[in-house]
Amino acid sequence: MLLNKYEYDLPEELIANRPTRPRDSSRLLIVDKKSGKVDLGFFSDLLNFFTSNDLAIFNNTKVLPVLIKGLDKNNLLREFLLIENVDNNKWKVMTKSPKKTEISFQLNINAKLLRENKNWFLIFDSNPKNLLQSYGLMPIPPYFRRDPDSEDLVDYQTVFASEDGSIAAPTAGLHFTKKLLDDFTISKDFITLHVGLGTFLPVKSKNIDDHDMHEESYFINSKTLKKIQDVKRNGNRILSIGTTSLRAIESLAIDTNQVNKWSKTNLFITEGFDFKFTDCLLTNFHLPKSTLLILISSFLGYELTMKCYKIALKEKFRFYSYGDAMLIL
């Protein structure tokens, strides 16, 4: 299957680099899979389409402020994205023009920048947790085309985030306010999938079957699995809040033994995938040629997906992480 199939032209002015305020005032495109009917509304309309017998699955991962700056031995300011904590004070990192050196950070914390195989690592002389909390910035996506600031510390985090571990936000969840959650009439439960660097990585293979999907960690407990199975058994619906929740529960559906423990998934959902748990999906509008757009197309169908995106473009919906949302019923 060719990647070019998932291309579309997006005017730059439709890329949202700040969220709507309040969060739940964003717009919502509603599409019915069976009828193909498309309606336009607002995010706060979400509750109108479900009952308390349905179940919404949220990803409660918390984005870490893992973008930090420090001075190298030549007193030059360097920026680092910490992408994986591999062992205590050792972090896998990304940085421009890396070379072996020592880095000085705030709070009198120092680190060595070293290369191992093809990867670069910072080895800190003490735990950098306080450094991240005091001086770390949010790892906002590059398509924002701006530097992160203090507003992103709040905006680029869901109001229900509780489990540290992501370097990208589960963006469908960003639309929820605490009040909307309090008023939520749908049954809800939480899973954890830590969103990794792969969220930012484009598909480069001309044939998507050749794409090497990134791996992410997830945790789902047995009580959540039972809730999902009971809802399905009773003929009610599972609403995945975002593609990360969907990938986690569909990974579990493939192997239900992966409960009550941290598991890894590199599930790449393409057309023809058999969705076993997810009935409905809340999602944002995604990048062209991305694994996320391919997933949406697999869930909704290619023609209807492209129809929805054309409508969203015509109606000037806001795209990407801080943009508007789409509800697939």
Which H, E and C letters describe 172-207, residue by residue?
HHHHCCHHHHHCCCCEEEEEEECCCHHHHCCCCCCE
Residue 112 in tokens:
């060595």
Query: Among 320, 8, 3, which residue's Cα sits nearest to residue 169?
Result: 320
* Residues 46, 83 share a domain: no
- The Cα–Cα gap between 267 and 248 comes to 9
Q: Quote the pLDDT of residue 200.
A: 61
- The Cα–Cα gap between 167 and 261 comes to 21
pLDDT tens track for 72-130 = 999 999 999 999 999 889 999 999 999 999 999 999 999 999 999 999 999 999 999 99
- The Cα–Cα gap between 57 and 195 comes to 16
pLDDT tens track for 121-174 = 999 999 999 999 999 999 999 999 999 999 999 999 999 999 999 999 999 999
pLDDT tens track for 20-41 = 999 999 999 999 999 999 999 9
Residue 61 in tokens:
């991962």
Q: Pick from 113, 135, 157: which residue ends a domain?
A: 135
Q: Which domain holds residue 99?
A: 67-135
Residue 256 in tokens:
């239900």
* Residues 163, 35 share a domain: yes
CATH code: domain of residue 175? 3.40.1780.10
* Residues 318, 170 share a domain: yes
CATH code: domain of residue 93? 2.40.10.240
pLDDT tens track for 173-223 = 999 999 999 999 999 999 999 998 776 667 888 898 888 888 999 999 999
- 0.75 cut: is pTM over it? yes
- The Cα–Cα gap between 49 and 231 comes to 16
SS3 286: coil
Strands 216-219 and 325-328: unpaired
Q: What single DSSP character describes residue 158?
A: -
- The Cα–Cα gap between 173 and 23 comes to 10
In a domain, 10, yes or no: yes
* Residues 262, 127 share a domain: no
* Residues 130, 39 share a domain: no
* Residues 109, 251 share a domain: no
Query: Among 243, 133, 132, 228, which residue's Cα sits nearest to residue 187?
Result: 228
pLDDT tens track for 271-315 = 999 999 999 999 999 999 999 999 999 999 999 999 999 999 999
